Chains A and B, each alone.
Chain A
Amino acid sequence: MKKTALIITLILSVFNCEDVIEVDIPAEAPRLVVDALIRVDIDDPNFVARVKVSETNSFFGQTTPTGLNQITLINQETNEFQVLLEEEEGSGIYSKMTGTDFFTSGEILLQINYQDEIYLAFTEFVPSAEINSLTQGDGTLFNDDEIEIVVNFTDNQDRTDFYLFDFGFNNYITTEDTFYQNQDFEFSFFYDEGMQEGEDVEIKIMGVDEDLYNYMNLLIEQSGDNFGPFQTPAVTVRGNIINATDIDNIENSNNVNLNDNFALGYFAVVEERKQTITIQ
């Protein structure tokens, strides 16, 4: 239904007139950002797990990669751990070739030491569903240059599922199975990227949990350029990475009084499946 709101907004934008203006904006001190959405291909026994770390900047500035003192993944069930290493000095990309099994069972802890602070996040592997087919349609939604791709997939049996689609070009869509439990579900996505005939497009589906589903919804909404005159309340999109430096579980077991003490980003391990279609 998110899509509905989006369309209403788009209709309204018909009346609108948009222009770029100069605005003085406030800025806060740089904050750690952890992009740790680890996409697992379960058919591959080994793969490279990658985490990207950076610092925030004011909206009109540039975000910059940053360096960590240490970054470790620990499987709480097996007590196995993996230390990630920076791929290239100054890139902010930390990685490790890891067995797929490490991720697919048990709770996984991400621990980061950064500028004398300790950050933690917990997650568990979420399975996905198979894309049955991708077909190109001839429909359009808002302009004649759009390319329609019809996605068909089968919902997982008897469980509440949340899915995240990655259509490339930074196009993400979330969906939940409330209204199509156990069904073959088909929907259309409309590309507006001016793609050429013969171009390959890879479409990916990931299984996510409800928290990540909510998080991605917020990111899509806040980053999107599909807005109209309805102003939605702005939120600080907090993820699941907590600052545990001051938590000793004796005097302090939460961050309620340190509510400015957090990192942005998200840590999750998800199954990803993909298919490619060639634009006709």
Chain B
Amino acid sequence: MLCTALMSAQEKFTLSGTVSEASSNETLIGVNIIFPELKTGTTTNEYGFYSITLPEGNYEVIISYLGYKSIKETVELSINTSKDFKLTESSEELDEIVITEDVERINIRKPQMSVNALSISTVKQIPVVLGEADVIKSLLLLPGVSSAGEGASGFNVRGGAADQNLILLDEATIFNSSHLFGLFSVFNPDAIKDVKLFKGSIPSRYGGRVSSVLEIFQKEGNNKEFKANGGIGFVASRLLLEGPIKKEKSSFLIGGRASYAHLFLPLFDIENRAYFYDLNTKLNFKINKKNNLFFSGYFGRDVFSINDNFINTYGNSVLNLRWNHLFSDKLFSNLSLIYSDYFYGLELDFVGFLWNSGIQNMNIKYDLKQYVSDKLQINYGLNNTYYIFNPGKIQPSSADSGIIEEQLVKKYANEAAAYIDVQHNVTDKLSLEYGLRLSHFTRLGQEELFVYENNQPVIFDPLTLIYQSAEPIETIARSRNKSITNYTNLEPRLAASYIINNNSSVKASFTRLAQYLHLLSNTSSPTPLDVWTPSGPFVKPQLLNQYALGYFRNIKEGDYSLETEVFYKDLDNRIDYIDGANLIANEAIERVILNGEGRAYGLEILFKKNAGDFTGWLAYTLSKSEQRTPARNANETGINNGQWYNTPYDKTHDISLYGNYKLNEKWSFNTNFIFQTGQPTNYPIGQFEFQGLTIPYYGLRNVERLPNYHRIDIAATLTPRKNADRKLKGEWVFSIYNLYNRRNAASINFRRNQDTGVNEAIRTSIFGIVPAVSYNFKF
């Protein structure tokens, strides 16, 4: 008796399969598969796959996903079973009884914390400037995420710099996430399936950047029927086509977006062009039950030209091939081959030269996911990336130009990593996720390497108190196959969650991260011509420790949720620039860089209303972000006299309020309110004259602040009723950005007015009130 009881208790079977959207077969990421009787469950991975191993039996299973109708089914588990689920969008079921929407509810059990997911439908509803839906601008409404303002590239996470964000599009690194110098982001919202931002507690499968990971997956394409959708806006229009190549087996997706060429013509009385475009493509083949193949690509460019005197082109390209293979119903694997590059080109006719710079990388990675039991899942893998850095190449633009062609010495590096990550439900209450990443960075040889006296490329004059570039004492050559500097780092990751009761939990995490690449940028937010540079003999990798603690609570069965977290980060080897450093076309960047340190800490609160006609959230962040570069020895002062100073992205208070109200099937309304403490800045402590110039001069860095930033945006979406029985479904989005026309300062500069001879403080602001209309359609 006892024996058979034991036997049957041990008899376990695996339920596995994929979850996809019913009408398109588009796989869905992060769908919850819950077994209420066992109080256990799992979620689908990045490719829509799930697997769970349970004792033999009949179970009720609930499949639930944000914005989709939940499915409740009974499964009989007496053999290993493969089962695919199809979900339908809840909004399409207009005539059904209204069910409580199962929206972005927080998973209180998972140890994963400090993560924010945004559904693409939310992204499309958030009012934005000029009506162009924007992934990155939407992220700014979340706690712990800020930007340097309108017209600023990139974003800052928990007091980190913009170059510390790892931005992945279908697993490929995107080096510049902005179009038009930061007015728009490079992601076409129509082509995107899923957006997830890790602000801390970053799993060990990610590495290479110390602040955050923004993971974006493109749609695979509808493999059932041909579909098109698009939009016409003030700034740009977009069109996306998708459909089967072979029905139910393979599909394609191709999406393009382009802005109007003479976008800023009215603002100039001379001939100029400013536009951007991007192209997203994806091919997807289901070879058989066990094998899937994906090709995806992205190509985007910005082009500016003035009078043909000045032509500026830049953008990203990405190409990748991924192969999903199921070794068994418990072992999922993915092999990726990825190429990604960033190009910056400039033609200056009046000086007679062409310029280009950029970065290329080739990445191979192999990730495995082993579903050991419903309590244990192990992820492990390998990753190798080879980089080529082009700091700049100059060429004469015509035969009579005096410019001599020159290629600044290219740099090469290789980054390898191995990781293991274990998700472990230890008891009913305690869950752990622990992992380790071993990363190794090799700076490879190059044609010319400078050698400095005492190994110091930056010297300090103890009398004038100025940091200066040292002259190299020797130039040496090293083969590209030879390593010149190596760095190895062990990066432990640990996260734990403890369930207090059915609705609340506490979580804690520790994350250590290493970053081997640095964006050379000396402005408050990156510019397109900033150049990436690898760590090497003089520039050390950035190393970060982050500690976070959080309390999570679902209120009224998840109709409301509350997430609170505190974090502390300390960062070693944050590069800082000596006064007056020139970063462009600098052959020896080590001569203007010193290794400093940083720290940031803060509190984040996110309160969400998840259900009903009115949904939305309130996010509040209280934080501090500082850096310093102390003296290297007693005969130096350090940068800023070696004192801590506010980073340009230190925002004491950051409040975002987002609301969505669905009045009826025809109208819905959205609004945001944003308040941020003014960005740190400098006011002159005096002025002097030299050779006729009036020069404001400054004291310690970043002690003043710009005025506080705030604004309200509103949008209304009209979905005409006649849509229901039409093939072409359209919607109108009317929006007003910066409703009360506040002139938020992007910067305050000080100068002498040359006409009046009077000194002035000049406020530069970007957008006042901006109304916009856009039309979106699908058929």
Which residues from chain A sit less than 8 Å from chain B, CB to CB?
A: 1-5, 7-8, 11-23, 25-28, 30-31, 33, 35, 37, 54, 56-61, 63, 139-144, 148, 155, 166, 169-170, 172, 178-181, 183-188, 190, 211, 214-215, 217-220, 222-225, 227-242, 244, 247, 253-256, 259, 262, 264-266
Q: Which of A25, A56, A255 is B683 in contact with, Cβ under 8 Å?
A: A25
Question: Complex: how many Å from CA A14 to CA B274?
Answer: 11
Question: Complex: how many Å from CA A217 to CA B583?
Answer: 13
| CB of A48 to closest CB in B, whole Å | 16
Contact indicator A4/B348 (Cβ below 8 Å): yes
Question: Complex: how many Å from CA A57 to CA B697?
Answer: 10
Contact indicator B695/A237 (Cβ below 8 Å): yes
| CB of B399 to closest CB in A, whole Å | 12
- Specify which chain B residues have a CB less than 8 angstroms from the CB of A12 in the assembled complex: 151, 181
B754 near A: Cβ within 8 Å? yes
Question: Complex: how many Å from CA A58 to CA B699?
Answer: 12
Contact with A along B403-445 (1 / 0, CB 8 A): 1101000000000000000000000000000000000000000
Q: Which of B351, B582, B748 is A23 in contact with, Cβ under 8 Å?
A: B748
- Specify which chain A residues have a CB less than 8 angstroms from the CB of B183 in the assembled complex: 15
B473 near A: Cβ within 8 Å? no
Number of interface residues of B (CB under 8 A): 101
Residue in A closest to B750 when the chains form the complex, CB atoms: A59
Contact indicator A139/B350 (Cβ below 8 Å): yes
Stretch at the interface among B205-213, B477-485, B635-643: B635-643
| CB of B631 to closest CB in A, whole Å | 8
Residue in B closest to A168 when the chains form the complex, CB atoms: B692
Residue in B closest to A241 when the chains form the complex, CB atoms: B464
Contact indicator B149/A186 (Cβ below 8 Å): no
- Specify which chain A residues have a CB less than 8 angstroms from the CB of B151 in the assembled complex: 12, 15-16, 229
Contact indicator A237/B697 (Cβ below 8 Å): yes
Contact with A along B729-770 (1 / 0, CB 8 A): 000000000000001001111111110000111111111100
Question: Complex: how many Å from CA A37 to CA B690?
Answer: 9
Stretch at the interface among B10-18, B59-67, B303-311, B616-624: B303-311
- Specify which chain B residues have a CB less than 8 angstroms from the CB of A14 in the assembled complex: 264, 267-268, 274
Question: Complex: how many Å from CA A139 to CA B351?
Answer: 12
Q: Which of A16, A37, A236 is B764 in contact with, Cβ under 8 Å?
A: A16
Stretch at the interface among B1-9, B75-83, B519-527, B712-720: B519-527
Contact indicator A179/B690 (Cβ below 8 Å): no
Question: Complex: how many Å from CA A262 to CA B466?
Answer: 11
Task: Describe A's contact surface by its main secondary structure.
Answer: loop
- Specify which chain A residues have a CB less than 8 angstroms from the CB of B528 in the assembled complex: 8
- Specify which chain B residues have a CB less than 8 angstroms from the CB of A172 in the assembled complex: 691, 693
Contact indicator B686/A31 (Cβ below 8 Å): yes
Q: A25-B683, A31-B686, A255-B465 are in contact. Are A17 and B743 (CB under 8 A)?
A: yes
- Specify which chain A residues have a CB less than 8 angstroms from the CB of B346 in the assembled complex: 4
Contact indicator B402/A229 (Cβ below 8 Å): no
Question: Complex: how many Å from CA A223 to CA B753?
Answer: 10
Question: Complex: how many Å from CA A40 to CA B636?
Answer: 35
- Which residues between 659 and 711 of chain B lie within 8 Å of chain A, taking CB atoms? 679, 681-699, 701, 704
Contact indicator A1/B585 (Cβ below 8 Å): yes
Please indicate which of the listed interface residues A26, A230, A254 has the most CB atoms of chain B within 10 Å of its own CB: A230
- Specify which chain A residues have a CB less than 8 angstroms from the CB of B269 in the assembled complex: 143-144
Contact indicator B754/A170 (Cβ below 8 Å): yes
Contact indicator A18/B307 (Cβ below 8 Å): no
Question: Complex: how many Å from CA A256 to CA B753?
Answer: 36
| CB of A52 to closest CB in B, whole Å | 8
B394 near A: Cβ within 8 Å? yes
Q: A4-B346, A56-B697, A139-B309 are in contact. Are A179 and B264 (CB under 8 A)?
A: no
Given contacts A15-B264, A25-B684, A259-B641, 14 further A-B contacts (CB under 8 A): A4-B346, A11-B274, A18-B765, A28-B686, A35-B691, A142-B306, A144-B270, A170-B754, A179-B404, A229-B764, A230-B525, A230-B527, A235-B580, A237-B695
B352 near A: Cβ within 8 Å? yes
Question: Complex: how many Å from CA A219 to CA B753?
Answer: 16
Q: A141-B309, A185-B402, A227-B747 are in contact. Are A8 and B690 (CB under 8 A)?
A: no
B634 near A: Cβ within 8 Å? yes
Question: Complex: how many Å from CA A50 to CA B634?
Answer: 38
| CB of A236 to closest CB in B, whole Å | 5
Question: Complex: how many Å from CA A272 to CA B401?
Answer: 25
| CB of A221 to closest CB in B, whole Å | 8
| CB of B84 to closest CB in A, whole Å | 49
Q: Which of A169, A170, A229 is B149 in contact with, Cβ under 8 Å?
A: A229
